Every structure is written in C-alpha cells, then in structure tokens.
Structure 1
C-alpha cells in the first residue's frame, strides 16, 4: 500500500521525465488538489493528511487502494520523519508546475502532453484551484506563498493558451488589490503573478501572442492607471517601514517595463501601455526620493531603455513583424518623456543622484576583511544619466523648429552635464577637449557608447540642417565650430576619440559591424556620409589632435625611451610606431592651434603591413536578434538617413556559417597575396616618408607625432577594414550585403588621396 506522499513522489518523477500516465485522470486530480484549512503548517501523519487533501466529497481512487477510514495512522519512528501538510502542499504545487511546464514544452511527446492537459483541465473545472492558491498568498510561510503564486501564474497562462476563460475570482482579486495602493502582501503577489504571466507570453514563439496578451490585459486596463497614480503619490519619507514600498516599486517597475515593451514589439494598443508616457514625472520623481541607490539605478535605467526603445529585447524569442500599423501616439509620447527628463534635469535631477557609494561585490554587498575598497563613482548611473540627457535632446530637437531655442537648450543642458561629470572623471575634463567626455564615460559599455555617439551626431546633423536653411552656418563658421567643441558634441572629435580608444584597430570595427548587439553599423554609415561632405572640418580636427599630441612630448618621450630600453635589454623588436597606435592618452584641446600650418602633416611609413586578423575574443558567436541587410548610400540621400531592413532566410543562415569560419578566413596566408593584389587595384593610401624614426628624446616625440597624422591613421584603419570586408564578401561569409558600405569606404579613401595629391 502506498501512502499519499509516496504517490505524489512517484507522480512527480514520471512527469519530470515526460512519461505517459496510465491511470484514470480523476485519480491524479485527487492527489493534486491542494486544500486550504486552519491546519496550514501543522504536522500530520499520512492518514490525517488524506482527510484534508483531495476533492471534497469524492471517493478516493481505487487504483491506489488508499482507504484512510479503515487504515490506522502510520506512526513514524522519529519527529524528523514526520511529513507535514505543509510539505505535501509544496509537493502538490511542484507537480502542478511541472505538469504545466511539460505541456508548454515542445519536446514533450504528444500522447503524454494530451494526458497532462486533461488532468489540468479537470483540476481547473472541479477544484476551484484559483481561489485556493490565492488563499495561500496569506500564508506566513513565504516559500509556500511564492510557490502558490508561481503555480497560479502558469495555470493562468495555460488557460490563455487553451482559450479557457479566466476565473472571476482571480480577476476580482486583482481588481480589488490594484484599485489603490496598500502595503499588503497580496499586492506584491498579485503584481508578481501578473508579471510572470506577461513574461511567458513574451517568450512564446506562437503568432497569436498579441491576441493572448490583449485578452489578459483587458480586464485590468483601467486598474493599472489607478494603481500607478496611487503608488507614486506616496510620501516615502513618512513611512516607518519602507521595505514593502520598495518591494512594490520594484515589482511594479518590472511590470511597467513589460507593458511598455509590448507597445514596441507587439501590435497592441491599450491605455495601460502608455501609463509611463502620460505621466512621466511620477517615475522621474522616484529618482529624487530618499530611497536606496539600487532603486534609483533601476528607475533611471528603465527611463533610458524607454527613450532608446530597448525594453523587452531579451524576452522576445519569436520573430517581430517587419511591418506593423504605426502607433500614432508613440512619437508624441517619446517627446513628452524627453521633455519631462530635461525638465527634471533643469530642476536639479543630477544633483540628487547617489554617485559615490559602496562598490558592487560579487556574491554579496560587503567586502571581505583585508580586501581593499576601490573608491570611485557609480559608472552605471553616470552612463545612464549621460545617455538620458543626450538622447532627450536629440528627440526634442527632431520636433523643434527654432534654431535659437535649440542652441540655448543645447548650451544649457550640455553645460549641466559636463559640470556634473567634471569632478567624477579623472583626470578632470576641465583642461581637456570637452568632446572626450563621451568615450571616457562609456568606454566600458559599447552599446551605450554608440547610442550616445549616434544621438550626438543626430543633434549635430539636425542643427546643421536648420542652420544651413537659415544661412547662418556659413556666416558664422568659426563660431559654430567653437560651439560644437565647447558643448562636447563635435562628431569628428567623438569619432576620433573612439578610434583612439580602440587603438585604430580595424578588427574591432569589423567585430562591431558583424555583431548585432550595437547600433555601430547605423552610426558608422551616418558618419561616413557626413565625412564625405565635411572633410575639411575633419582634417582641421585631425590637425588639432596632432598638435596636442606634439605638446604632450614629455609623456611620449619617456614612454618611447622605456620601450627602447626594454627592447635593448630583452632583444624584442617592438616597433615604436605600432606601439603608439595602441597607447591611449587624453589630449588637451589647444585653442591656439588654429594658427598651425595649413599644410597637411607629412606621413611616415608604418611597419610592414599585415592583413587584418581577427582575435578570437573579438568574434565569439552571438545570436543576432536581427540581421542587417542593406541601407541607403546614394549620393543624394540625407546624411542622416539609413534604411535598415530585416535579413532574408539565406542571409540569416550565412551569419551562422560566418561565425564558424570567419577567423580562419581573414588571417590566412593565402589572403595576404589576395589582399596585396586588391590594394594594387585601387589608389593606395600615400606613404610619403621612408625616413627611419629617431630615438633621440629631444626630437622623437615631435617627429613621430607630426609625421603620423590622425587623418592618415584613420584612413589606414578604413583601408584595412575595407580589405577584410572584401575578403569575407568574396567567400560569402559576411552576414549581410556590405556593397554600399564598401562604396562609402572607397569614396573616403579617394577624398583623402585627392587632398594629399591635389595635382
């Protein structure tokens, strides 16, 4: 004879393996039906539990032969062997959860899946399980309450998938608890359950996910707004126990992210999806509350994701439709959010951020005794706050008609941002080119750095177009250039600082172009188009960089001397020029450099050229969320237009093949000859000097810096990138069509050659 607990254990093991169940469905429902009674948490024997668990008024299954009325209680030898009703409930919830998980799993065998479905449907119809699970939310045992919420969420999702009407008891429970904010645990479990269901819908790969989500959200569409207003109107500092408020904020923020993400990724138009945009000040006010730093961090990152439209990207597994009906409110809502951010900054938002705090520790919040605590600002908040401002300005300027208003706002908010960053970046920005702020703040976060660079370029292009329309740009060219540098948004400075940060390494650029994890392709194409029209300004900026490098002669002299000494002592043939390319220094912006010679800096022969080779750590296989195929590169297109499309099936499959073969292809010896012939077929990058580099400290720094100009190093990097892309394209290993990109790179090379050889 098997007892109650052993039957559940055996059932759990079978379902875990996906085995087909042979007994009658009612037999399994009897053991899976949890009961809610006053004895929750009390210890009971198996026979006592059998009176409590099971369907009310239903006979026990004959196939199991468990007759509690005629069987004496089982007396276990020690208290440690006693099985409590609490443990049986946990096992029941676990089996139900595994059953639903197996139903949703693709790999479950069809016959077993149908059996599982029948059992769950009977349980839902006859056991009133929703109400029983909701009652468990009040249990003092947090593990039981958590398991009940998790189990209920999966059952709700099962009902949505099977088009079963949700129970009125569940809908009434949510509507009652979300009508206004309270510190009850019911609110937390209600929010948590709703969030889990929405996550499951997002992860679903079926094409009906939009209809499923709409069915789920419709009963709560108006309730969410009331809860939003009630929660964020709390006076946080007046609460004695703030832990429940913090938990509610975190839970609701996660649900807000899913609601907003559903607007971006799914064709669904509900009022609850616009809550954040209709009243953005509520979310921004939390950042100013006297609340823990991690809560502020979560909220500021949430707003950043809203502005970048990057919410929910890690949850959407299925394909996103290429063409969806436009959201007529989205652009206006984005503008409202950007205006709210700028208004909050004007009111002192940056001054309320907790920048200096304890460093994050792996595995806990405290450092072990004897470990040194590295002081420094919270770079996560620094990056998020900086990107908030620059992206908000870009969005606002896209909808602003007055050039004067744009210039005033730019001066005001960029000055606020740079003032905020100066004491936090070492060395300080006070004596350096203000445009260096971007690469220094975002150097450890590639995706945010490129988003900020793209937004900064968008501001520059918008202002340029507006000024050209009013003919004010040509009349005040020098004043305009000074304005771009002073406010840290000159696109040429930003791009050169980016190249310097990666050591002018073309393989890094190739890695960015292949990966779909950043917006580098869009940013790079827009910059190359700008470079075609603004070459003279780029060349002027390069001369400024060359002069500032020359002025930093003491640092460079000592550095080269150490390299030479190391080479002599260890017989290592290290080329100083090659080392210069990877040496990262921050350079001052020399305002007096405008008097420098207008002649382009002479070039020096670099060490023997080798084809670009990809490092293994640069090309780890990545699953692209979308592949980029083609973009507009016509000569008469706007400089900021970049039309990015989804890849077709053939090009997507090429991406997987490319990731496996690309490393061996780019660096093979056979490609050296191929690359050499390819370079001979087009005008080479000039090499104007073959004079060996002197190692005399008195002249080496000046001569090296003056001969190896920024423009030459940039174009040489482009040339190496062009060769690597061409080789991959010939072998059909590039993940998208790079023809237009190669055309842009060749045009830049032609412009450079013409400027070097005007005759």
Structure 2
C-alpha cells in the first residue's frame, strides 16, 4: 500500500511541475481540465499518512534513543535496526507529502493570479477559470484550505493563507457566493479568541483581500468590497473593541498578542483607505475614528515598533494619506469634501487631544536608539547611531498639531482656542524637551518644528501648514474688529510662547535650507509636499502682517547669538534699480517700533554661529521630468488669490512642449544661471509662449551681478535681507521659467504675491533714511 502511495506522490509531483511551468508561461491547458483536479486536490497529499512531520520525527528519535549510548559502537559500525529504518521511511513519505502540498498550493495560487490578471489572454483565462470553479464545486477546496490554515508547519500555513486569500478574491471578482465556511471561520475566531493563531489568520487574509481590491482597476471595486465587508462588519467591530479595551495584563499570553495587534493595525489602515477611496461607510471602516480605544496600547509594555505603527496610522488618517501607496493617483485629488468624513476626523482629533490632556505623551516611551530600515539592531562593525526614535517623535508631534488645527476649524470661541493652544502645545513641548539635544531655547519655542522635522520634508511642511492654520484661526478676529495694539501684541506673544508663530517658523525653515531659493523652487514644482499651499497662504499673511514679520526679524537678529542662528551673512553688492533706489535704509520705522529687526551688526562671534547652525537640504530635488510634464495637476493658485478672475490668473494652455529633454536642460541652465546655447535658443524660439509677467513686475530688488562690492556697500546682512533676497531670487527664477513656458503650472498669482512682498520692502525703505549702513 505504501509503495502505491509513493508512486502516486512521485507521479503527482511530476504532473504538478509540468502544470506549474505551463501556468508561468501563460500557456493554454490542452489536456482535459478535469484530469488536473485529482492532482490539485489536497486530499491526495493527505493519503500518505495522517502523522505530522513532528510526530514522525519523534518516533525516529524514540527508536534511536533506545540504541546504545555514547559508549556503544559508532553509526558507521552498526546498521540501524528495522524499527529505525521503518520510521525513516515513514519520515520520507511525510516529507514527500509536505512537498506535494506546497506544490499544490503554489500551482493553485499561480492559476488564480493568471485568472485575475488583465494581461492573460481571454481563451487561456477561460480554461484557468473553469479549473478553479471545478475545484470549488467538486473538491470544496475552500473548506480544505481553511483546515490547512491550522497546520503547525509555518510555511505550509502561510502558503495556505496566500492561496485562500486569492481564492476569496476570485469569488468576489466572479460575483459568486463568498465562501460560507470562511465566513463561519471568521465569525467564530474573531469573536472568541483574541490571541489565537486563527484570529491572526483571519485578519491577515482580510488584509490581503482588501489590498488586492485597492490595487485592482476593476470598475466594480466598491461593490466587491461591499460584498466582503457586509457579513463581517459587526464581527470585526466586536473584535476591535475587545482587543483594545482590555488591560494588557488581562491576556493569558501577552507575547502572542503582538501578532494580533500588528495584523489588526494593518487591517485598520486598509479599511480607512478603502473608506476614503471607495466612498463606503461601514462601521469597520469608521471604527478607528469613532472608537479610538486603540490609543490605549501606547501605554502598554509592548515593543516600540507596534506603538510607532499606531502613531503613524493616526497620522495618515488625519492627513488623508492612508492607502496612497496602493491606490492609483494621489489621495487629495481623489477625495472631495464630505460631511461624514469631516465629522469622523473631528471625533478622532478630539479623542487624541483628550488623551494628550490625560498624559498620553507622558506615558509614551521613546526608545533611545533610532529606528533603522530592516530593524533596530546594529550590525557588528557598524557605528551605532545616537538619538531617539525620530520617526515616532515626528508622527506624535504632527498628529498633535493636526488635531489642534481640525479642532480650531470647528471652534468659534477665541478664548477657548487660546486655552486649548496653551494646554496642548505645552504638553507637546514638554514631551519633546528631553529628546532634543541641545534642548530648545526658552526664548524661541517655535524652533521645535524645524528641529523635529529636519530630516523629513513632507512632514515638516504639513506641520508648518497646520501651525499656520492654527495661527490664522486664532487671529481671525483681527479682521472683524478693531483690536487695540496692546491686545494684538499680547496675541502675538501668546502664539510665539506656544511655538506657533508663523514668521518664526518660516525663518527657521529658510535657515534649515540655508536661504537657498533653488530649494524653494524644487518644492514648488514637486507634488510630494504641500509646500505650494503653505507658501501661498504664508505670502498672503506676510503682506497683511508685515509689521509683525519685521518684529520677528528684529527678534532673530537680537537672539541669534543665543540660539545659533547665523544672522550675519555675506551678500553680494546692492545696486540701484533704474527707477527705484534700493539702498538699505539706516533706520526703518514700524508701528510697533521693531524695524531695527533688519539691522546687521557685525560681531566677532559670527563664525561660531555657522558651526552651530543646522543646514539641511531636501532628501532629493525635483525637476520637470524629461519625458513629459508631471502627472499631477496642482490646485489652482486662483483659489488662493482674492483678486478675482483676471487674465493673468487664467490657467496656462501650454505647460511643457513635447521636446522635453532640451527644455529640461534649459530649465536647469536658467535655474543655475548657465549660458544658453544657440541650439537651445533656436528650439525655444519655436515654442508657444504664454503671457509672461511684465518685466517691471519681475525687477529684482537685489542684484547679484558683479563680483566686487563698491566701497560703502553692505557686506553683512540680517534675517530680514536674507529672506527678501531669497524671495527675490525665487521670483526671478519663476519668471524666467514662465517666460520660456517651462513652469509646470500657471504661476501668475504666485508671482503677484511675491511682487507684493517687494512692494512692502520698497515702502519700508521709503520710510527711513536712504543712507547705507556701514
């Protein structure tokens, strides 16, 4: 009998090998499809014996243990007894059955992948589809796979889970009835056993199926997901509440609960992503927003990577960025204003702020070694990195500021917002203080943002945008009522003391990029950050809040030696423009008496400032691609400009010409100031031009031409002039690119805002003396 089974195993393995090669090549099944059913039936591999490999090995060990001990003859001198030989043969058959099982699962998974792939030919796909349907009907392969999930062999169990996930997605795509044994299996284990391996399998398979739905381009994706979630919606809600509402000490086996937590968090992320992308509102998709009891685990004694995973998940939810790496297109352009989603966001933000007020960040422990790709352990011979886990620090800081922004968007009382700002920002700053070395300076708490996010551009700009929004909501009463100067200054000091002064944050941001206008240009033409929206909003605020900006510049000039800000930096010579004198005035006046902000007083310790200053460039630069314009369509700048629909705000009809390679070379030359070749001039002369800004609108306030500075000109400048010089260079670069039709969108409104900043500077210069500082 055993000999017959051995022949069956050998024959099955050969047939499965041949079938697998056909499937990999996408070949049509010429033979009778039903002949393959026998070899793909999991019962075939189970006929070799019901003992598992572990039991068989135990039998072999038991027989060998009965043999003579260390003082007996060696294995080369003694032939194994018949009992040992029999156990070895049994072990061989079990191993052969194990290999056949894995091969069966691999072939079935490959067939399902071919059926679900859009690249498979229709005729070939029909044969594969018929084979899977026969397996479901005649062998009930779904029930057998569910039984194999509980196998003690981890590799076999994992392959079974992958195969079952593909099979479930096949049923959903083909609009057949979802496997009833699978629904029963999930309802049982998600309701009864929180720590079991079966519950983890349920979560993992659901995650895999939803991931396939999000990646698919099927037009009925929403209906497919609805069919999956309908029978399990309440079951998952019960599981979620039970898992996160308990105390960590209540679990019988705390070490096993980590797997459940990780799988549950991954599933929650995909449920939230599917809610945003596919416009469904099941309880399981909203549960993290409406019942954020998952925050409880931040105080549990569990590995730090699990807590980090939760904090990052909340960050993605508040930024509406969940699932952006799975779905086609960018999330902000897919979603539309939705009252139900806004309400859920507010609920999550309120719950997070409430937890912060109760001491959430005090209970969150940050490991002293930073997170690394591939794990936290340092390999032998490598120098260990010092410092805390900045990934968690950034995520925790960003969700606090973002939650405050969401709360303030729905708050009408200025006094309430004032109290909340002090309450939550003090908690955040206290949380960050022990982790930032050197510690934050007491005279400028606004430095926290650039210090925390110095290695992550997108998060830095998201935090800056949220902070700016908080400031605008706090000070919106200035435009509706006539606030006294003293009251206004009190609000300014209040926002500054709580780390939310927009001008401080902007100056620290410019300092982190060394006041380099080309970095700002990179951000403006990139779709990877929210810099465009933040920058436009800040420029509008800058024109309205000019006196405040000058006072902050004075503050930076006065406190630069204390906080490591280099406020004295060489600047090329200043020259006179044809119509307006741009010599720097000796004294500048302002209503709040702060115009000495832009004074540059040379000091002997300037060199020490440079050594302390942190200068960080973006992780990567972004230029117009060589094979066409960016695939993204940024939000129109007209939405940010209040001047109405003039001609210069109309979208440009010509973004980038088809000759992208030469145009991108020209863009690089323009930005870097390189000379243009005759060939470039000839090619560009044939390009259609959009209406450029009038040359007078782009006249530079500062001129970088000339290598030497005439006597009497200023060689040291403070933050005021460094900022204006940076904006001037940016203005000129954008104008040149727009003039040659190389900018990826119409920047007319942006240029108008930058021109407004120049006008403010001219007005300031007209108030004071025209003599130059020496």
- TM-score > 0.5 by shorter chain: yes
Contact kept in structure 2, 1:156 and 1:166, CA below 8 Å:
yes
Give me the whole-angstrom Cα distance separating, in 1, the residues matched to 2:338 and 2:401.
Answer: 24
- Structure 2 residue 13 is matched with structure 1 residue 5: yes
CA spacing shift, 1:530–1:275, aligned 2, 3 Å? same
2:30: which partner in 1? 22
1:496: which partner in 2? 507
SS of alignment partner, residue 22 of structure 1: coil
CA spacing shift, 1:727–1:654, aligned 2, 3 Å? farther
**Equivalent position to 1:153, from 142, 165, 180:** 165
Give me the whole-angstrom Cα distance separating, in 2, the residues matched to 1:412 and 1:596.
Answer: 30
Of residues 623-632 and 266-275 in structure 1, the stretch that sits farther from structure 2 once superposed is: 623-632
SS of alignment partner, residue 287 of structure 1: helix
Give me the whole-angstrom Cα distance separating, in 2, the residues matched to 1:241 and 1:621.
Answer: 54
Contact kept in structure 2, 1:41 and 1:85, CA below 8 Å:
no
- Structure 2 residue 747 is matched with structure 1 residue 734: no
- Please state how far the C-alpha of 1:753 moved relative to its aligned partner: 2.5
2:361: which partner in 1? 350
1:663: which partner in 2? 668
Structure 1 regions of 5+ residues with no counterpart? 44-75, 561-574, 579-593, 605-613, 639-643
1:176: which partner in 2? 188
CA spacing shift, 1:326–1:451, aligned 2, 3 Å? closer
2:73: which partner in 1? none
Residues 285-341 of structure 1: CA distance to partner in whole angstroms, max 9, x if unpaired? 111112111111111111122211111111112687968775432222211111111
CA spacing shift, 1:755–1:467, aligned 2, 3 Å? closer
- Structure 2 residue 173 is matched with structure 1 residue 165: no
Give me the whole-angstrom Cα distance separating, in 2, the residues matched to 1:357 and 1:240.
Answer: 30
1:309: which partner in 2? 320
Residues 617-653 of structure 1: CA distance to partner in whole angstroms, max 9, x if unpaired? 5137889674214133565479xxxxx99x9998699
Contact kept in structure 2, 1:355 and 1:381, CA below 8 Å:
yes
1:546: which partner in 2? 557
Give me the whole-angstrom Cα distance separating, in 1, the residues matched to 2:570 and 2:676.
Answer: 27
1:90: which partner in 2? 102
1:287: which partner in 2? 298
Give me the whole-angstrom Cα distance separating, in 2, the residues matched to 1:194 and 1:132.
Answer: 18
- Structure 2 residue 731 is matched with structure 1 residue 722: yes
Matches within 5 A, 1:387-536: 387-469=398-480, 471-472=482-483, 474-536=485-547
2:621: which partner in 1? 618
- Structure 2 residue 699 is matched with structure 1 residue 683: yes
TM-score, scaled relative to structure 1: 0.80
- Structure 2 residue 637 is matched with structure 1 residue 631: yes
- Structure 2 residue 152 is matched with structure 1 residue 143: no
Structure 2 regions of 5+ residues with no counterpart? 1-6, 55-87, 573-591, 603-616, 685-692, 769-774
TM-score, scaled relative to structure 2: 0.78
Of residues 677-686 and 746-755 in structure 1, the stretch that sits farther from structure 2 once superposed is: 677-686
Contact kept in structure 1, 2:641 and 2:749, CA below 8 Å:
no
CA spacing shift, 1:248–1:487, aligned 2, 3 Å? same
- Please state how far the C-alpha of 1:544 moved relative to its aligned partner: 2.1
2:271: which partner in 1? 259
Give me the whole-angstrom Cα distance separating, in 2, the residues matched to 1:185 and 1:163.
Answer: 30
SS of alignment partner, residue 742 of structure 2: coil
Contact kept in structure 2, 1:517 and 1:624, CA below 8 Å:
no
Residues 463-503 of structure 1: CA distance to partner in whole angstroms, max 9, x if unpaired? 11135435446451221221121111010110111011001
**Equivalent position to 1:744, from 742, 753, 767:** 753
Give me the whole-angstrom Cα distance separating, in 2, the residues matched to 1:649 and 1:130.
Answer: 56
- Please state how far the C-alpha of 1:80 moved relative to its aligned partner: 7.6
Give me the whole-angstrom Cα distance separating, in 1, the residues matched to 2:435 and 2:187.
Answer: 46
CA spacing shift, 1:256–1:478, aligned 2, 3 Å? same
- The count of residues paired between Structure 1 and Structure 2 equals 673
- Please state how far the C-alpha of 1:144 moved relative to its aligned partner: 0.6
SS of alignment partner, residue 227 of structure 1: helix
What is the RMSD computed on CA atoms of the aligned residues? 4.1
CA spacing shift, 1:663–1:11, aligned 2, 3 Å? farther
Contact kept in structure 1, 2:555 and 2:597, CA below 8 Å:
no
- Structure 2 residue 344 is matched with structure 1 residue 333: yes
Give me the whole-angstrom Cα distance separating, in 2, the residues matched to 1:739 and 1:655.
Answer: 24
Contact kept in structure 1, 2:698 and 2:732, CA below 8 Å:
no
Give me the whole-angstrom Cα distance separating, in 1, the residues matched to 2:552 and 2:332.
Answer: 43
- Please state how far the C-alpha of 1:678 moved relative to its aligned partner: 8.4
Give me the whole-angstrom Cα distance separating, in 2, the residues matched to 1:744 and 1:724.
Answer: 15
Of residues 11-20 and 474-483 in structure 1, the stretch that sits farther from structure 2 once superposed is: 474-483
Of residues 234-243 and 199-208 in structure 1, the stretch that sits farther from structure 2 once superposed is: 234-243
Give me the whole-angstrom Cα distance separating, in 2, the residues matched to 1:389 and 1:666.
Answer: 37
SS of alignment partner, residue 84 of structure 1: helix
1:212: which partner in 2? 224
Of residues 726-735 and 168-177 in structure 1, the stretch that sits farther from structure 2 once superposed is: 726-735
Give me the whole-angstrom Cα distance separating, in 1, the residues matched to 2:502 and 2:312.
Answer: 25
Give me the whole-angstrom Cα distance separating, in 2, the residues matched to 1:322 and 1:668.
Answer: 35
Give me the whole-angstrom Cα distance separating, in 2, the residues matched to 1:655 and 1:310.
Answer: 34
- Structure 2 residue 304 is matched with structure 1 residue 296: no
